Chain A
Amino acid sequence: MGNNKKHLSGAKSIEQSSTPVLQYSNTPDLPKVRRTPSRFRNAIGKYRLRRDKACVACGKCAEVCSYGVHVKRNNKMAKPKDYLCIGPKCNKCVEECPENALSMENNPLTEVIGDKRWTPDLLISSWYMAETGEVPPGDIEYKIGDSGGGFDRIRFHYAKKPSRKLDVSKFSTKLSLNRRGDNRADVEIGIPVYGGGMSYGSISLKVMVARARAWNAWNSFTCTGEGGYPEELYPYDNHVITQVATGLFGVREETIQRVRIVEFKYAQGAKPGLGGHLLGDKVTAEVAKMREAVPGSSLFSPFPFHSVYSVEDHKKHIDWIKEMNPKALVSVKVSTPTDVDMVAVGSYYAGAHIVHLDGSYGGTGAAPEIAKKNIAMPIEYAIVKVHNFLKQEGIRDKITVIASGGIRTAYDVAKAIALGADGVVIGTSEMVALECIRCTNCESGRGCARGIATTDPELTGLLDVDWATQRLINLFAAWRIQLIEILQRLGMRDIKELVGRTDCLRHLDYEGSGVGV
């Protein structure tokens, strides 16, 4: 194993070492972070604190805690906000309590929530970021999941130590989406991330509006998905991508003309080749109106586009949109089959500005489990294949490559970019910021019990638009800071410098060096 040691010695300081906690003031031109706590009385954290009857409300715990867990109010101790607690590494309140009234344990709920891809730590850390706009302190793992492959086994190999005086204003996270050099206007986004398609019907109108506002604030985009373009989104037209998918639900000339980006959805990573299916229960009167369908009856998005059976047909489609909206950029969303690299090249020659690869572990409101697990390849492979093939073909700098399907954290974003994507699309992370707990029952009965993925009037009432908007703004703020920290440690100033820089990455399960592609 001597060799391993040598190989990774430089990488020892890799990202797993703790990053110093920095306080960043809000830069004036960026959206403001505002503390936005959980909607629920009992927020879930990694640790649980109990205060027993011996407590005399002396306030010692509040005095020693740096994390705001203990609050003394009206001569009484409030219920500890233990979701903010950083655990046994601190333990000050427990040790210093004169009455021994406090005890700490791992929160047993962490056994129940989460999974291999979204570990309890990732859920809890995302909730923390959505509340505070900052990276969680303590030992919460907020960078990787536990899937045992792909992003979860890849680490950055940094050139520099974390800076204690980071001047955020010196870094750029902007991304231009039009690289074709055609006569269409460029569209620049503030962070190399935008929101994935989630249709009206699969999520509530409130969530749609909150997403639009949050992405608007970050000068990026949300996407309507395939389910129509609700009027409530009109104020955010410049930050909305509208989707043309196989069912053509809610697609009208007028909607296509509203926007700066139109997205063709050929396939969805979670259920590639299967089409979509909105269960009858979710087709309320409003949803049906938007989709020009009948309330209560299930709606199928077929597969594939019944008008596209060749790359020529595909070009015809893109020409059609370009003709209808002479300003818009065209994005082509595809899944990740074995020939995904060919598909990307084909999309370029058909006239697309953006090729959006949706990997097989991506999110969904409902999909057969056999499809989610088995069909098509994980995004990590697809990015590398596409990036390299576009380079070989000499057109890499003419098309924007966007990756999605399993991007959970800011580190996933950075890794996807370093592997060869220009930017990413997210979805599930946004839902988690709104306190999705990944119970996976989005599709059953009245829909999401937490009021996110539902159109049930009572359940949608569980969520407030302002609250949701701010939670999303905060999450993106926390991500942006992390991206900047990564850039700083790699000696870069602009996120564009990171594209395809696989030399900055190490894979824990490999040794030696690659031959390059």
Chain B
Amino acid sequence: MPKKYHIHTEPASPRFTPIGKSTILDWEGGCLRCFKCVKRKCIYGAYNERTFDVTQLTDTIDTICKNCLMCVQSCPGQVITKIINPEYKLLGDSYWTPDIIARQWDQAETGSIPVSGAGYAGPFSGPGFDDMWTDMSEIVRPTRDGIHGREYINTSVSLGRKLSALKFDNKGNPVLEAPKNIEIPLPMIFGELPFGSLSKDVYLAMAEAAMELNTLIEVPAEAWDTHLEPYARHVIPVLSAEQIETHDHLIETAQVVEIQDSDESDAVLKKLKKKHPDTLVMIKTALDENSRERVEALADAGADIIHVHADRNGNVHGEKKTRFIKDVVRGVHNHLVNTGIRDNITIVASGGIAMAEHVAKAVICGADAVAVDIPLLLALECRMCLRCEKGLACPVEIENVHPNWGRTRIMNLIGAWRNQILEVLGAMGIREIKRLRGEVGRAMFFKDLEAQTFGQLFGTRVGTRKEGI
């Protein structure tokens, strides 16, 4: 049995006080000077450990306080209360919600999966990835116990084309021309970053993490630097059709090269295959209404990997309507299955992958792997303020990260994600993530469940309506 894949994590404190969800308000006026102040009774020691960070002008209590409200409810003078931190509410946007952002910060700091008490606190279901649940099986599954750990669950995927059938010569001997494949131990590569105050050190941190995790990282040709030379085998150079002429060295050392899809993709593929037969070619194409046909054409043209992407919130914009990445990928996957060429290529999906569960769900909907992008920045404390896009200074100075610290934070995040993926795979009774691809039978969709139950009882679903219409 091969050595078990394991991601090493270690705590890596944030450089800046994270923005907490709510904040303690306590004031002097009205304080009764009790001999035994409720603040001393805090079981988390929040009042003892609080400090005031003079550079950031923040009170650290908000990150220590766990919202038990014991002090608020016990103070005789009622001089303590909690309020929502307005800064927290403003984090991110409607897709990259404050809770998602803060959760990724935590995971990057601790490397642990988010665990909490009490039941799920969120909405019943939602748009995007939130309209599906993953299945579990009541008795048959990879077992787990406290003594022997858990049966090994394999999360590796292979990138590249596969043979759809064996061929034999006249004498009946197999003629095997197995296409080159690259096995990565995670269904995740690091995608090109859509924004960010990106310095050499940021790329160094990410490349180091990619190498340690034994996965790959997309780096645009413009960002390539000799610093990255030691990691070249793990770098996917992202090139335009023109750049392939001028970046031979990069293409030669890389295992995979990514080319932006264009009208010339066929010619580019031919050229690359001829000149660099050992480098896999990944074509990056934006999802739209014609994605099924486009992916099929690229597969026929010889692409090894097709990287399909939505916008950063997972939206696929069509002329008539906007659809969500997982639904579009599901359509593409089914189309390729129906045309009998699904295994000829590998599909990597990106756009809107914000949490560990999104990886599993994207795979269920037909992707072989995903490209993770913004969460890598979140691991480095990004607040998604997008000031960098406007040319303004990064509030958490991402450009100044120490590569080792950055690597640890990214490994923590990916380690925590992988452990969460193992949890859902275990519950689904799946021992290899390769077998989860397109396995919609291991998931339940809101639409289907509603139709099977409420649809039978209450008629036609007409969308969310107001009370008493």
Contacts and interface: CB of A to CB of B under 8 A. Distances in A.
Given A12-B468, A41-B76, A370-B356, 13 more contacts: A5-B469, A40-B73, A41-B75, A112-B67, A117-B119, A152-B124, A374-B134, A377-B444, A440-B117, A445-B44, A506-B458, A513-B458, A517-B456
B82 interface: yes
B124 A343 contact: no
Contact of B463 (A377, A509, A517): A509
A384 B453 contact: yes
B374 to A, nearest CB: 19
A229 B72 CA distance: 36
Contacts of A443: 115-117
Contacts of A508: 464-465, 467, 469
A43 to B, nearest CB: 7
A44 B70 CA distance: 11
B85 to A, nearest CB: 10
Interface in B440-460: 441, 444, 449-450, 452-460
A439 interface: yes
Nearest to A449: B68
Interface of B: 22, 43-44, 66-70, 72-76, 78, 81-84, 103, 113-126, 133-141, 143-146, 355-357, 420, 423-424, 426-429, 441, 444, 449-450, 452-465, 467-469
Contacts of B76: 41
A147 to B, nearest CB: 4
Interface string A118-137: 10000000000000000000
B47 to A, nearest CB: 14
B464 A148 contact: yes
A437 B117 CA distance: 12
B426 A376 contact: no
B83 A43 contact: no
Contact of B453 (A153, A368, A380, A406): A380
Interface stretch (A60-68, A254-262, A334-342): A334-342
A112 B136 contact: no
B456 A375 contact: no
A371 B424 contact: yes
A135 B114 CA distance: 36
Interface of A: 1, 4-5, 8, 12, 14, 16, 38, 40-44, 108-109, 111-113, 115-118, 147-150, 152-153, 247, 266-267, 269-270, 272-275, 298-306, 308-310, 313-314, 334-335, 337-338, 343, 360-378, 380-381, 384-385, 405-406, 428, 431, 436-446, 449-450, 453, 459, 502, 505-517
A250 to B, nearest CB: 15
A496 to B, nearest CB: 20
A304 B427 contact: no
CB-based closest 8 A-B pairs: A149-B124, A442-B117, A273-B427, A512-B459, A300-B146, A302-B145, A449-B68, A115-B121
A272 B464 CA distance: 29
Contacts of B145: 275, 300, 302, 306
A512 B460 CA distance: 6
A303 B144 contact: yes
Contacts of B355: 370
A378 to B, nearest CB: 7
Contacts of A437: 67-69
A374 B357 contact: yes
Contact of B113 (A42, A368, A445): A368
Contacts of B122: 115-117, 147, 373
B358 to A, nearest CB: 10
Which of B68, B123, B138, B459 lies at the interface centre, i.e. has the most chain A CB atoms within 10 A of its CB? B138
Contacts of B113: 368-370
B467 A113 contact: no
A513 B117 CA distance: 39
Contact of A439 (B68, B143, B427, B450): B68
Given A374-B134, A449-B68, A112 B84 contact: yes
Contacts of B469: 1, 4-5, 8, 508
A310 B139 contact: yes
Nearest to A454: B43
B138 A304 contact: yes
B424 to A, nearest CB: 6
Nearest to B21: A112
Contacts of B462: 4, 509-511
Contacts of B72: 42, 109
Chain A interface, >50% SS class: loop
A367 B458 contact: no
A205 B357 CA distance: 36
B84 A111 contact: yes
Contacts of A42: 72-75, 78
A16 B454 contact: no
Contacts of B441: 338
Nearest to B459: A512
B454 A384 contact: yes
Contacts of B74: 40-42
B122 to A, nearest CB: 5
Nearest to A342: B138
Contact of A361 (B44, B114, B120, B135): B120
Given A367-B115, A439-B68, A443-B116, A375 B136 contact: yes
Contacts of A115: 121-122
B453 A270 contact: no
A366 B119 CA distance: 9
Given A4-B465, A438-B121, A514-B457, A304 B141 contact: yes
A274 B117 contact: no
Given A108-B83, A377-B133, A302 B144 contact: yes
16 contacts: A16-B468, A338-B444, A360-B120, A363-B118, A364-B117, A367-B117, A372-B116, A375-B134, A375-B136, A440-B118, A443-B115, A449-B66, A449-B68, A459-B43, A510-B462, A513-B459
B429 to A, nearest CB: 8
A514 B133 contact: no
Contacts of A118: 121
A267 B143 contact: no
A273 B83 CA distance: 37
Contact of B43 (A5, A375, A446): A446
Contact of A509 (B75, B135, B356, B464): B464
A373 B457 contact: no
Contacts of A515: 456
B452 A385 contact: yes
Contacts of A1: 469
Contacts of A509: 461-465
A209 B461 CA distance: 46
Contacts of A247: 146
A455 to B, nearest CB: 14
Contacts of A428: 118-119
Nearest to B468: A12
A306 B464 CA distance: 44
A270 B423 CA distance: 13
A159 B14 CA distance: 60
Contacts of A506: 458
Contacts of B457: 384, 502, 505, 507, 514, 516-517
A376 B124 contact: no
A456 B455 CA distance: 49
Contact of A306 (B75, B118, B143): B143
Contacts of B134: 374-376
Contact of A267 (B138, B144, B453): B138
A112 B22 contact: yes
B121 A273 contact: no
A362 B145 CA distance: 23
A43 B73 contact: yes
Contact of A373 (B120, B140, B427): B120
Nearest to B125: A149
Which of B121, B136, B455, B458 lies at the interface centre, i.e. has the most chain A CB atoms within 10 A of its CB? B136
Contacts of B136: 267, 272-273, 335, 337, 375-376
B459 A514 contact: yes
Nearest to A44: B73
